[in-house]
Structure 1
């Protein structure tokens, strides 16, 4: 019984983090200038407006609607998400895109794998896709980062096409590292290393260490 209570309490904590993250990002989106919405994000081929549209897709589309969209994309999830993001980014105003995120703050949507921690990761990483690309110095709260950093697994790295062979990630601002202790260190802020683990390439100057060039440059992830 104690373990069940603990799990329920932890789930409630993560859901509260999700709601806070969505509200904060909605406020940030509301404050963007018109031109910033058309700037490229860290997601390949997506501007800020496509990322913002994508972030609320999971709780704007019903399951039947999602399955229809997936069928229309030939069962290819990445093709579906790209098409829906582009369509909704063009059809909705920027005020609507921000409002969708705020209004869905407590929506129980989760990705197909990973539960609420994965939903938190979806929001945090896509938020960073926007803020890092725009040069906005938003710091994700430590408690949210620790949930996500603790969840990094080889399977997730493979999904995002991240090769950490011979590399150790070392955070400058948290007591956290990942990878073989004998690996060549790549150092940076914890939230930048999180982006790296989700397949993002960082702007120059954000990472340090000999292998850091492997993770710097053109964006290559959209999930």
Structure 2
């Protein structure tokens, strides 16, 4: 199994570099996560970076085994009074290598997808490592929608990256940039505009009626 942590560290570092010059209004820009600002998503990334398997069990129980409440509690806990404080908290966990009870590649999903949740609304672009994006996508298409994945979204379809050597599935083709495929499989409708192929409209329709 690939050691994801060097990539996770590099992505944390890249996000810090991209965000350290933001203005106060930019921090309150709505992210791609409904109801969350850019600042909120950063706080969530910090909370996830601090959450071990044992810590997850404890905090999940405190949230009444409600995943949405658990996530909201993490954002509230790690969101500093000022964005610079939250950014410092990410710097403090730069080298941290603990994870909630989930596959290791979920840490790649965390950093790439949430990285785009922040960057896209701000007009910031990043060239992510293609291997990391591909591994994250492989995990997302195995993961059910209820756990934040896209298994139901892409069932019966073939995903084809037009900028990488990546093809998976069977059925009508959904073709586009590897990152757009990952974001779509993670429930981000904005990325479906970059997709083509005979199966693209099916994905759009499924996503529009999903619970994301």
Shift of 1:204: 6.5
- Give the superposition deviation at 1:160: 2.5
Question: Does 2:83 align with 1:128?
Answer: no
Q: Look up the SS of the partner of 1:205 in the other structure.
A: helix
| Residue 193 of structure 2 is aligned to residue 205 of structure 1 | yes
Point out which structure has higher relative CO (alpha carbons under 8 A, 6+ apart): 1
2:101 is aligned with 1:112 = yes
Deviation by residue 1:58-79 (Cα, 9 ceiling, x = unmatched): 3446777655543332111221
- Aligned pairs for 1:41-190 (under 5 A) are 41-60=31-50, 67=57, 69-86=59-76, 88-89=78-79, 91-115=80-104, 117-156=105-144, 159-160=147-148, 162=150, 163-180=153-170, 182-183=171-172, 185-190=173-178
- Please, what TM-score do these two structures have when normalized by structure 2? 0.82
CA contact (8 A) 2:52 2:98 kept: no
Note the residue ranges of structure 2 that are not aligned, 5 or more in a row.
none
Aligned alpha-carbon RMSD (Å) = 2.9
Matches for 1:34-45 after TM superposition, within 5 Å? 34-45=24-35
What is the CA distance between 1:143 and its match in structure 2? 3.0
Q: Output aligned runs, 1:4-15, within 5 Å.
A: 10-11=2-3, 14-15=4-5
Equivalent pairs counted in the alignment come to: 207
Given that 2:8 and 2:111 are in contact with CA atoms closer than 8 Å, whether structure 1 keeps it comes out as yes
Query: What is the CA-CA distance between 1:51 and the residue it aligns to?
Result: 0.4
Q: Which has the larger displacement, 199-208 or 61-70?
A: 61-70
Task: State the TM-score, normalized to the length of structure 1.
Answer: 0.78
The C-alpha deviation readout for 1:121-159, integer Å capped at 9, x for no partner, is: 211111111112333222212232233234344334563
For residues 32 and 162 of structure 2, the distance between their equivalents in structure 1, rounded to whole angstroms, comes to: 22
Counterpart of 2:7 in structure 1 is 17
Deviations 1:164-207 (A, max 9, x none): 23432221211212321x32x22221111111112222256332
Equivalent pair of 2:41/2:114 in contact (CA under 8 Å): yes
